[in-house]
Amino acid sequence: MDLTPPDDARPDGPDREHRIPQEVDDATVVAVGKLTAALEVTEHARGMLYAFHRLTGRSDNELQEALDQLDEAGHQDLAEELRAELVGRNVIHGRWTFQMVEDYDENYWQTFRDLERKVREQLLGGRRHVYEAQLKELNRTPGRLGHEARPPELG
């Protein structure tokens, strides 16, 4: 895939931080872009894990309210059985959801982020989203309103 935009130096092109560094080939840009895309999926998965954590906590709160209502309705034996079995129970062996989140963050997510950054630093001078910036250049219509390469200068 040829990622070279028509004129990389034009005033309406990508900013310096999103241009392909000199002497970096398209295959490298594509490979790093794929690695970054994989990290983005991991970021999404992490968000879903946090959602799981929050939803499980909310479920636990609602469970405790339901058990109080069972007590008030005269079903203390059932309420107590559920309290003993569910309230405070691990969601997986030895862990509550916060421990799952911590383990994921420390053992996978942070390692993935650090290694993706290392690859970008070694191969693209630390630049982020270079592949995406090239795709934007190949797909936008220069000079057309709403197709600008970057935001207008502030100040």
Q: How confident is the model at residue 135 (pLDDT cuts 50, 70, 90)?
A: very high
Q: Which of 43, 20, 44, 42 lies closest to 120, judged by CA?
A: 20
The answer to the question of residue 46 being in a domain is yes
Q: What's the total number of domains in the chain?
A: 1
User: 136 and 149 in contact (C-beta within 8 Å)?
Assistant: yes
User: 52 and 97 in contact (C-beta within 8 Å)?
Assistant: yes
Q: How confident is the model at residue 155 (pLDDT cuts 50, 70, 90)?
A: very low
Q: Would you call 130 exposed, middle or buried from its count of C-beta atoms within 10 A (0-12, 13-18, 19+)?
A: buried
The answer to the question of residue 75 being in a domain is yes
Which of the two residues, 101 and 154, has the higher pLDDT score?
101
Q: How confident is the model at residue 154 (pLDDT cuts 50, 70, 90)?
A: very low
pLDDT at residue 150 is higher than 50: yes
pTM of this prediction? 0.82
Cβ neighbours around 41 below 10 Å, total: 9
User: 123 and 32 in contact (C-beta within 8 Å)?
Assistant: yes
| Mean pLDDT taken over the chain | 92
**pLDDT, position 152:** 80
The answer to the question of residue 110 being in a domain is yes
**pLDDT, position 53:** 98
**pLDDT, position 149:** 87
How far apart CA 141 and CA 148 sit, in angstroms, is 8
**pLDDT, position 7:** 54
How far apart CA 92 and CA 86 sit, in angstroms, is 13
Look up the domain containing 115 and give its range: 24-139
How far apart CA 76 and CA 66 sit, in angstroms, is 12
Residue 106 dihedral angles phi and psi, to the nearest 5°: -75, -35
